Amino acid sequence: MEFDLINDIESFTGVVIGISAGAMIQIAEYHITPDEDYNKFTYNVGLNLIKDFDIEVHYEETEIQNKYINKVLSEKRDKIYAITNTGGLIFHNNKITLLGDVKNFSRENICLKT
């Protein structure tokens, strides 16, 4: 069943809260790192609420998470916030507030293999 809520959500001026996939889908183009639920890496179109950064949810500093964070930084984004299960992020008026355990990755700090 489709509810056609995308325009309503994207134009909503109140608080939008997302946890895990609900946080990821707020990003205009987000990635999914392979794990026990997803067998391959993908880029996906999300809501157009956040455009300037990406996130990695359930971050545990695994080799595969770090590999795909670097991939996204080299291909698409300048900044990724890796949010653990004890972390969070507030994005309000283009200002970012990190809560708890969140690691900040940026394009300028990655090693690109040629």
Q: In which band, very low, low, confident or very high, does the pLDDT at 109 lie, cut at 50, 70 and 90? A: confident
Say what the pLDDT of residue 108 is. 87
Q: In which band, very low, low, confident or very high, does the pLDDT at 100 lie, cut at 50, 70 and 90? A: very high
User: Is residue 80 within 8 Å of 110, Cβ to Cβ?
Assistant: no
Judge whether residue 114 has pLDDT over 50: no
pTM here is: 0.89
- Residue 32 φ then ψ, to 5°: -120, 125
pLDDT digits (tens, 9 = 90+) for 66-92: 999 999 999 999 999 999 999 999 999
Tokens of 75: 């291909």
Q: In which band, very low, low, confident or very high, does the pLDDT at 17 lie, cut at 50, 70 and 90? A: very high
Q: What is the Cα 47 distance to its own chain's centre?
A: 12
Judge whether residue 112 has pLDDT over 70: no
